[in-house]
């Protein structure tokens, strides 16, 4: 390429760069909305004491938070096979691809290719060779339409990625809750089976006493009623255990090996005993679902800029440069270079209100995104506050239930002995046995509530993303 031609090409490139640098952005400046909740998380009688400046629950990996190895292995299985999470990952890939397509509009499309042709007429052969490249209809983004469209696609991609993170956190929490529920129902089944065995003996005793003329038919009927109640509960809890496993395997996306299933909930200590929860509500802004809502708001903000730019002229450039010669050997010799460039500007004179309607729609979408963002923060605040309210009282409830169950069991043993010695009627041990059975089942429920409350608190504070 000769020196004049190089200068012309450089000037064209410099001109394009100046146009790009001088382009304006018609999107409104993004300002994060104020927190629509109290600046601090709630404190009071129902809540645990929170330390100012504490936080970082989202930095505690789920492998560290959960202390039971079987539970951790089950969560790992869910993260590798759950279909909802796979769908969320695919959605992120779709959003990323869309962003790449929109971003490509910011740079010109360049084509290049050689051509050769030949003809023969009256014994004379003529040949033609060309090597050309061109830029086809490149839109100069003076008013930011393309940049804002690309920005909107980028924010949509980021929102999709935060949605994937939120899906993962929810999956970790739901898998843990399902596993713990299965453990609790197995404990409840064991209580029902033990009660059924005990009431079987009691029924046999009352029948024997009635046969010997010491007992009554009323006592036999009452013992039979208690026996049938326990038998029905065994059937119910057997069903619950099977359904719990089905629910767990839907979350894991694959059959759960028996070795990973819980045998018992025990005291419900399968997680860390406490979490470093701070006072500030700012912790809510780190939750993936809140970040997802904010990226959606930023996307809507950028689309306002694109809609505004549609009111201004659209400028397109077309360029062609290349080499041409009648012989292949002379293709790169002096005088073979040629170039051309053209531009066009179009301005909509009348569109029946399409541009105005698109702008109004973009603004309304931004307003809706603001409301959704604020609602996401309010929902997050309520979820954290509810989890903390349960956290502040659950240990007292479990302790009271443990004492209640122990004393109810003791009372049942004493009244049964008094009945066997002829001191009391069968009504006293029957009532005491029912109370003890209810207390034992309530203790299982309370321990499950304590365990799942810790899982919920971990989830709503943004934990469960890192391993």
* Alpha-carbon gap, residue 234 to 351, rounded angstroms: 73
Mean of the pLDDT values across residues 189-213?
94
Q: How many helices (H) and strands (E) does the chain have?
A: 9, 4
Query: What is the H or E stretch that residue 69 is in?
Result: helix 69-81
Query: Residue 73: pLDDT above 60?
Result: yes
pLDDT at position 21 is: 41
| Closest to 103 measured CA to CA, from 35, 43, 56, 150 | 150
Q: Tell me the domain boundaries of the chain.
A: 32-106+142-311+355-460
Is residue 222 within 8 Å of residue 31, measured between CB atoms? Answer: no
Structure-model confidence comparison of residues 184 and 305, the more confident one: 184
> What's the Rg (C-alpha) of the chain?
37
Mean of the pLDDT values across residues 424-452?
94
Average pLDDT of the chain is 84
Buried b (16+ CB within 10 A) or exposed e, 348-386: eeeeeeebeebbeebbebbeebbeebbebbebbbebbbe
Structure-model confidence comparison of residues 53 and 433, the more confident one: 433
Q: How far is CA 158 from CA 29, 98, 151, 211, 350, in A?
A: 19, 12, 11, 78, 36
Query: Residue 351: pLDDT above 90?
Result: no
Structure-model confidence comparison of residues 420 and 109, the more confident one: 420
Query: Residue 317: pLDDT above 70?
Result: no
CATH code: domain 32-106+142-311+355-460 is 1.20.1600.10
Structure-model confidence comparison of residues 260 and 112, the more confident one: 260
Confidence band of 238 (pLDDT split at 50, 70, 90): very high
Is residue 462 within 8 Å of residue 414, measured between CB atoms? Answer: no
Is residue 432 within 8 Å of residue 462, measured between CB atoms? Answer: no
* CA 239 from centre of chain: 31
Structure-model confidence comparison of residues 167 and 118, the more confident one: 167
Instruction: Say what the pTM is.
Output: 0.82
């Amino acid at each position: 390429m000769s020196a004049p031609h190089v200068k012309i090409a450089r000037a064209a490139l410099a001109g394009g760069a100046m146009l790009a640098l001088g382009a304006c952005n018609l999107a409104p400046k993004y300002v994060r909305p104020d927190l629509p909740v109290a600046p601090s998380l709630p404190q009071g009688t129902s809540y645990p004491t929170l330390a100012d400046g504490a936080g970082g629950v989202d930095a505690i990996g789920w492998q560290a938070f959960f202390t039971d190895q079987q539970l951790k292995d089950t969560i790992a299985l869910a993260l590798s096979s759950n279909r909802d999470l796979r769908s969320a990952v695919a959605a992120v890939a779709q959003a990323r691809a869309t962003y790449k397509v929109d971003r490509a509009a910011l740079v010109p499309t360049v084509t290049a290719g050689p051509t050769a042709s030949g003809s023969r007429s009256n014994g004379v052969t003529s040949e033609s060779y060309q090597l050309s490249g061109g830029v086809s209809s490149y839109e100069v983004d003076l008013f930011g339409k393309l940049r804002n469209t690309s920005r909107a696609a980028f924010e949509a991609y980021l929102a999709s990625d935060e949605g994937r993170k939120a899906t993962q956190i929810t999956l970790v929490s739901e898998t843990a809750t399902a596993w713990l529920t299965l453990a609790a129902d197995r404990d409840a089944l064991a209580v029902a089976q033990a009660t059924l065995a005990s009431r079987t003996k009691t029924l046999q005793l009352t029948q024997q006493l009635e046969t010997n003329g010491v007992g009554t038919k009323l006592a036999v009927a009452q013992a039979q009623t208690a026996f049938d109640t326990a038998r029905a509960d065994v059937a119910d809890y057997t069903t619950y255990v099977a359904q719990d496993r089905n629910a767990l395997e839907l979350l894991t996306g694959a059959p759960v090996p028996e070795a990973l299933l819980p045998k018992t909930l025990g005291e419900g200590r399968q997680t860390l005993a406490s979490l470093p929860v701070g006072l500030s509500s700012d912790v809510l802004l780190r939750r993936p679902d809140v970040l997802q809502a904010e990226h959606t708001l930023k996307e809507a903000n950028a689309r306002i800029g694109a809609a505004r730019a549609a009111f201004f002229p659209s400028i397109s450039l077309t360029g062609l440069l290349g080499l041409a010669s009648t012989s292949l050997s002379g293709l790169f010799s002096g005088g073979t270079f040629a170039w051309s460039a053209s531009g066009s500007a179009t301005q909509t004179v009348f569109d029946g209100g399409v541009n105005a309607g698109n702008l109004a729609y973009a603004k309304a979408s931004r307003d809706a995104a603001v409301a959704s963002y604020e609602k996401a923060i309010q929902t997050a605040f309520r979820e954290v506050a509810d989890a903390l309210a349960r956290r502040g009282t659950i240990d007292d409830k479990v302790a009271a239930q443990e004492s209640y169950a122990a004393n109810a069991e003791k009372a049942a043993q004493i009244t049964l002995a008094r009945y066997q010695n002829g001191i009391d009627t069968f009504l006293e041990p029957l009532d005491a046995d029912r109370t003890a059975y209810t207390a034992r089942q309530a203790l299982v429920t309370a321990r499950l509530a304590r365990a799942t409350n810790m899982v919920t608190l971990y989830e709503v504070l943004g934990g469960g993303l890192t391993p």
